Amino acid sequence: MADNNNSNEVTAESKVLSQEEIDALLGYGSDANDLSVQKNGVQAILNSNMVFYERLPMLEIVFDRLIRQMATSLRNYTQDNVEVSLEAIESMRFGEYMDSLTLPTLINVFKAEEWDNYGLMSLDSSLIYSLVDVLLGGRRGTAAMRVEGRPYTTIELNIIKEIIQLILSDLSAAFDPVTSVGFTFDRLETNPRFAQITRDSNAVIVAHLRIDMESRGGKIDLMLPYTTLEPVRELLLQMFMGERFGRDTVWENHLMSKLWDTDVEVKAILKETKALLSDVSKWEKGSFFPLDITPNEDVKVYCGDVPLFEGNMGRRDKHIVIRVKGKAEKNG
């Protein structure tokens, strides 16, 4: 009996979880709000629909083209050595993204004209002060000075607006191989509450970009709701191969060469006419059905239901042949 009591006590003690184990099971902890840390436990289950949201391969290529074009454009604009890198592309909810923004930040609301919807571009304060410092003649190799707690001046906002329009132009050019779309500047906001372009629960895709200018720089986030990308969703789902965006010339040429060796069945129709079912039921062996066709009337040749050409019927050796006159006209 004593042994049984001891085993029950051991079993009961083994079922008791510490607070740290409970937090780990539920997915809570000191890094629960850190987007870079992979969630586990219940939190991973709750957010799994966003982690495994639909992949858009072509959109990744668009962002890759964007960083190359941005690097060239910003070098020409700032006359400085500018490096642009793509840190990550992730899917999340709109409300989750807005909560993750580090204030102060400048949020640009832009519109995709052809898609009739909106997107966001957020620039952190370190990047804003670095760009202003570079353009106003700041010394190289020194970090830009930040004055916390004050609003951006009119000069700073005008400079950043020109930079944003430059980036939006590059974004439009990056989409050109996929589809033609123009992104236009709408407004600038410093408060995330005034940049609400979709519901908090809606899915968005965020591209985290990093801009470095020697010892200065900062981050840019490009956020596009999936509802904004819906008009071109089928195009963005294509797989990318080579520099032709979705086209594989090797398979294309191979398919074209094999098409010439493909057998197709064609049929020649002498005449089409209508008959009553009551008359058809009276047909017997040896009955005649008049087609009202003359020897010189054209015969149409079809492949399936597609008319190919028409011509005159005749005989050559022991074969019945058709001399092609031209393409057949479609019925109706």
- Looking at the domain that runs over 52-249, which CATH code has it been given? 3.40.1550.10
Domain extents in the chain:
2-46, 52-249, 263-327
Instruction: Kindly tell me if the per-residue pLDDT of 164 is higher than 70.
Output: yes
Cα–Cα distances (Å) from 87 to 105, 152, 247, 302, 311, in that order, read 19, 27, 27, 57, 65
73-101 mean pLDDT: 87
225, with CB counted inside 10 A (0-12, 13-18, 19+), is buried
Fold of 263-327: Surface presentation of antigens (SPOA) (2.30.330)
Instruction: Kindly tell me if the per-residue pLDDT of 2 is higher than 60.
Output: no
Instruction: Kindly tell me if the per-residue pLDDT of 30 is higher than 80.
Output: no
The predicted pLDDT at position 171 comes to 92
pLDDT in tens, 98-127: 888 887 788 999 999 888 899 999 998 888
Q: Which of 54-58, 114-118, 202-206 has the lowest mean pLDDT?
A: 54-58
The predicted pLDDT at position 316 comes to 84
Dihedral sign for Cα 68, 165, 219, 224, please: negative
Higher-scoring residue by pLDDT: 148, 56: 56
155-183 mean pLDDT: 89
pLDDT band at 223 (very low <50, low <70, confident <90, very high): very high
Tokens of 80: 């400085």
pLDDT band at 51 (very low <50, low <70, confident <90, very high): very low
Q: Which residues contact residue 254 at a Cβ distance below 8 angstroms, ignoring those fewer than 6 apart? A: none
